[in-house]
Amino acid sequence: MSDDLPLYDDDNLFSAYQDMRSAPGRLNEVLERPAIWSLIPNPENLVIADLGCGAGDMVRDLCAKGARDVLGIDASERMIAEATRSSVHPRARFLVQPLETLELPENSYDLVVSSLALHYVEPYDKLVKNVWRALKPDARFVFSVEHPIVTCARREWQTDADGERAHWPVDHYSEEGSRLIRWLGLEVPRQHRTISTYLNVLIECGFVIEKVLEPVPDDDAISKWPRLADQRRRPPFLLVSARKM
């Protein structure tokens, strides 16, 4: 992948990601999406920013649920182009902007959400401070990331002599920073940070942490998609709901 392009503007990754989005039984659909919606307050009449909005799915859904104004932000021109094609709505707006350089207006938002984007962002503390400034008092910041147990290694199961998944390696967990993760058949960068960093930065910025989730598949999901059973052996996602004091 080219270092000169935003991640999802790379031809190979964008194509692989589009193929993945059409596959049934995806972890995003089965686990992450229901979990993040369980943390999002009723969006009716709220002014909302979606950080790392991708193709605009959440922007579209928030608008459909009555949000007053939703700004979707993503570094990828391709993703924003996809979002504007699929999320045409009078209350939806989109902005091409890297989250690392984003400056949201102060005291302007009732809710900031981010779905599986912050594990690409460095520095995290700068973004959290910006989100805190942008939120109105008592407003919420709700986000999901790949679980640090996932980002600390190469995102590959260790297998036994018969090719069966034996265990998930956890390695160099406390050493934060950029990692190359094997994903969609490609080497994709992630920013690894510990659970304590995700939470303590929020606390230090003045947030109150209201809920933390580490969802795994239930029996019904495994019955429908048996390959998801291994996801009970380690959580794939970390989700946090925090409120501005």
- pLDDT of 98 > 80? The answer is yes
Judged by average pLDDT, the poorest of 20-24, 29-33, 159-163, 201-205 is 20-24
* pLDDT interval class at 243 (50, 70, 90): very high
Range 180-211 burial, b when 16+ CB lie within 10 A, else e:
ebebeeeebebbbbebeebbebbeebebeeee
pLDDT of residue 1: 47
Q: What is the mean pLDDT of residues 82-106?
A: 89
- pLDDT of 184 > 70? The answer is no
Task: Give the mean pLDDT of the chain.
Answer: 89
Pairing of strands 109-115, 135-146: parallel
Dihedral, CA of residue 73, residue 96, residue 130 and residue 148, to nearest 10: 60
- Is the pTM of the predicted complex or chain greater than 0.85? yes
Please measure the distance between the N-terminal and C-terminal CA atoms of the chain and give it in whole angstroms.
41
The Cα 93–Cα 110 span in angstroms is 16
Write the CA distances from 240 to 11, 115, 162, 163, 204, integer angstroms: 32, 11, 38, 35, 15
The Cα 204–Cα 34 span in angstroms is 28
Which amino acid, one-letter code, is at 108?
Answer: S
> Domain limits of the chain?
7-156+175-244
Residues paired with 159 in a beta bridge: 165
Structure letter (DSSP) for residue 110: E
Q: What is the mean pLDDT of residues 79-94?
A: 85
The tokens describing 106, both together, are 């102060």
pLDDT, tens digit, 9 for 90 and up, residues 125-177: 999 999 999 999 999 999 999 999 989 876 677 788 888 887 888 888 999 99
The Cα 244–Cα 205 span in angstroms is 9
Write the CA distances from 19 to 14, 23, 144, integer angstroms: 9, 7, 22
pLDDT of residue 171: 85
pLDDT, tens digit, 9 for 90 and up, residues 25-46: 788 899 999 999 999 999 999 9
pLDDT of residue 210: 98
**What's the distance, CA 104 to chain centroid?**
19
How would CATH label the architecture of 7-156+175-244?
3-Layer(aba) Sandwich (3.40)
Q: What is the mean pLDDT of residues 62-88?
A: 90
Q: What is the mean pLDDT of residues 200-224?
A: 97
CB 75 within 8 A of CB 96: yes
More confident residue, 161 or 21: 161
- pLDDT of 100 > 70? The answer is yes
Which amino acid, one-letter code, is at 125?
Answer: D
More confident residue, 229 or 182: 229
